[in-house]
């Protein structure tokens, strides 16, 4: 670990993407920085595991979204990390049970998607009051549960009936997706190399009313002239750090209005050569009944022998609470539905299963806005104490909220506010 400055200008709380970006930005400007991280590792909700399946598997963030403007794209390229064009490589297939759609069914599914997206666009622009994503897309017909499942549970990590349409629209991601070879978590960790991070250092109290900010935790007490807090909204809302004085009521309300959704992922290693007739980078979905959870399934990325399954929203929360065995059983049943019971014979025992809802340093995956709360991100991002206390993190970005790119941007913005405050 690099030596920590004894008299830092800036404290950064949390070494996820936002905290790493904030620390790098301030250090590039010559400030003394200390980053306090609760976990024994950096990266937060970006985490690549290489041990469990014997190859890189992202338990959290996987794609660099909105590649055209994503700040991580040039940084990855600068490190020599190969980014693959996921949109060009992805092979999509939809099914009814184990049967692949006929061309006519496929056309009907595509048309239903196009209609739902056009209605979201029109509803977001009609100038009326905010409403739920489900109301805005008003999907009907046999494919409505699948489309709602994608837009709500999978993309927003929460049921479409609880998600703000305005916020969903403001953060709809366009401009391409990239997959970093070696994993996104590994990339984020590399971007933290050399930073003055104190690991296993959870902040429990933060005094910010005086001339200095004082952070307290099991590590003792650390002071600085400014502080950037990047912990997830779930933890802010739960009072995981005791702020003294308390955060302004509108800031705290904004954290409550941007809860973290839930996703559970399971990665299975395939033994043998069976690929179900699918090429690398396949994405398979299927018709689901109303109320039936949709499973997003990516198969054989980079031609690796892996099937990655994930569910979101309430089903994810319930499954994760039941435990890894329940997650595994559910995903295996889904694989059998799509590829036949004999497919289960190709799966190595012991998949890797995520646990973001149980994780005490995240308590969920990424933020969505409650209906009527699309303005909460701007409120949460407002600098406090003239810029000497700034909140950052994916929930504070507008345009790329919920993503690593958004978190990174927010860290840069917060660092600039803090630097302006210190210079003033």
Ligand X SMILES: Cc1cc2nc3c(=O)[nH]c(=O)nc-3n(C[C@H](O)[C@H](O)[C@H](O)COP(=O)(O)OP(=O)(O)OC[C@H]3O[C@@H](n4cnc5c(N)ncnc54)[C@H](O)[C@@H]3O)c2cc1C
Q: Taking contact as CB under 6 A, which single stretch among the options 36-44, 127-135, 246-254, 290-298 is the one that binds ligand X?
A: 36-44
CB closer to ligand X, 47 vs 134: 47
Helices (H) and strands (E) in the chain, counts: 14, 20
CB closer to ligand X, 243 vs 366: 366
From candidates 98, 108, 170, 240, binder to ligand X by CB under 6 A: 240
> Which phi-psi region, left, alpha or beta, contains residue 402 (left: φ > 0; alpha: ψ -120 to 50)?
left
**Which tokens belong to 218?**
């099991």
Closest CA to 157 of 265, 85, 235: 265
CB closer to ligand X, 132 vs 362: 362
Q: Taking contact as CB under 6 A, which single stretch among the options 30-38, 120-128, 292-300, 368-376 is the one that binds ligand X?
A: 30-38
Strands (E), 97-225: 99-100, 178-180, 197-198, 205-207, 213-217, 220-224
CA 3 – CA 6 distance, rounded (Å): 9
Cα–chain center distance at 31: 29
Is the CA virtual torsion 234, 239, 245, 246 positive or negative?
positive
Q: In the range 342-361, which residues lie near ligand X by CB under 6 A?
A: 354, 356, 361
CB of 83 to ligand X, least distance (A): 13
Let me know: does 32 contact 10? Beta carbons within 8 Å: yes
> Does residue 45 belong to the site contacting ligand X (CB under 6 A)?
yes
CB closer to ligand X, 343 vs 367: 367
> Does residue 405 belong to the site contacting ligand X (CB under 6 A)?
yes
> Which phi-psi region, left, alpha or beta, contains residue 220 (left: φ > 0; alpha: ψ -120 to 50)?
left
> Does residue 13 belong to the site contacting ligand X (CB under 6 A)?
yes
> Does residue 403 belong to the site contacting ligand X (CB under 6 A)?
yes
From candidates 34, 254, 263, 306, binder to ligand X by CB under 6 A: 263
From candidates 60, 71, 149, 351, binder to ligand X by CB under 6 A: 60
For residue 251, give the 3-state DSSP assignment. helix
CB closer to ligand X, 39 vs 338: 39
CB closer to ligand X, 37 vs 334: 37
Determine the size of the site formed for ligand X (CB under 6 A). 42
From candidates 241, 352, 369, 374, binder to ligand X by CB under 6 A: 241
CB closer to ligand X, 152 vs 393: 393
> Does residue 17 belong to the site contacting ligand X (CB under 6 A)?
yes
Is the CA virtual torsion 341, 345, 350, 353 positive or negative?
negative
Helices 17-28 & 184-191 angle (0-180, nearest 10): 30
Please, which residues bridge with residue 207 across strands? 214, 244
From candidates 166, 171, 230, 251, binder to ligand X by CB under 6 A: 230
Q: Taking contact as CB under 6 A, which single stretch among the options 38-46, 84-92, 101-109, 111-119 is the one that binds ligand X?
A: 38-46
> Does residue 183 belong to the site contacting ligand X (CB under 6 A)?
no
From candidates 15, 147, 297, 343, binder to ligand X by CB under 6 A: 15
The contacts of residue 323 (CB under 8 Å, 6+ apart) are none
CA distance readout (Å), 292 to 47, 246, 313, 334, 406: 29, 42, 12, 11, 31
- How would you list the strands of the sheet with 197-198, edge to edge? 197-198, 33-36, 10-13, 226-229, 389-391
Q: Taking contact as CB under 6 A, which single stretch among the options 80-88, 235-243, 369-377, 380-388 is the one that binds ligand X?
A: 235-243
List interacting residues with ligand X (CB under 6 A). 13-19, 36-39, 44-46, 60-63, 65, 202-203, 230-232, 235, 240-241, 263, 265, 354, 356, 361-362, 365-366, 393-394, 402-405, 407
């Amino acid at each position: 670990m690099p030596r920590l400055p004894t008299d830092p200008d800036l404290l950064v709380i949390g070494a996820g993407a936002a905290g790493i970006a904030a620390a790098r930005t301030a250090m590039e400007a010559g400030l003394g920085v200390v980053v306090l991280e609760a976990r024994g590792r950096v990266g937060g909700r970006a985490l690549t595991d290489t041990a469990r399946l014997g190859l890189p598997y992202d338990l959290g963030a996987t794609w660099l979204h909105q590649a055209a403007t994503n700040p991580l794209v040039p940084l990855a390229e600068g490190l020599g990390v190969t980014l693959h064009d996921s949109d060009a490589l992805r092979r999509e297939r939809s099914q009814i049970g184990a049967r692949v759609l006929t061309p006519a069914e496929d056309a009907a599914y595509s048309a239903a998607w196009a209609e739902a997206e056009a209605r979201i666009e029109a509803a977001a622009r009609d100038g009326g009051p905010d409403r739920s994503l489900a109301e805005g897309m008003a999907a009907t017909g046999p494919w409505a549960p699948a489309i709602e499942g994608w837009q709500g549970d999978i993309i927003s990590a929460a049921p479409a009936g609880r998600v703000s349409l305005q916020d969903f629209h403001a953060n709809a991601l366009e401009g391409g997706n990239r997959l970093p070879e070696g994993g996104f978590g590994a990339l984020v960790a590399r971007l933290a190399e050399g930073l003055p991070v104190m690991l296993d250092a959870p902040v429990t109290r933060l005094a910010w009313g005086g001339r200095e900010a004082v952070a307290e935790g099991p590590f003792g007490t650390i002071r600085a002239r400014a502080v950037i807090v990047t912990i997830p909204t779930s933890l802010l809302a739960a009072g995981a750090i005791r702020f003294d004085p308390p955060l302004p009521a509108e800031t705290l309300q904004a954290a409550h209005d941007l809860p973290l959704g839930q996703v559970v992922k399971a990665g299975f290693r395939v033994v043998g050569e069976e690929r179900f007739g699918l090429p690398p980078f396949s994405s398979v979905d299927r018709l689901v009944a109303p109320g039936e959870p949709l499973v997003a399934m990516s198969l054989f990325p980079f031609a690796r022998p892996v099937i990655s399954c994930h569910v979101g929203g309430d089903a994810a929360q319930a499954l994760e609470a039941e435990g890894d065995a329940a997650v595994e059983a559910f995903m295996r049943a889904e694989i059998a539905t799509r590829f036949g019971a004999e497919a289960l014979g190709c799966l190595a025992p012991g998949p890797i299963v995520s646990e973001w809802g149980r994780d005490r340093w995240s308590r969920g995956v990424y933020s969505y806005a409650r209906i009527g709360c699309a303005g909460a991100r701007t409120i949460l991002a407002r600098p406090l104490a003239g810029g000497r206390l700034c909140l950052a993190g994916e929930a504070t970005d507008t345009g790329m909220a919920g993503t690593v790119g958004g978190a990174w941007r927010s860290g840069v913005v917060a660092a600039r506010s803090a630097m302006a405050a210190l210079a003033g």
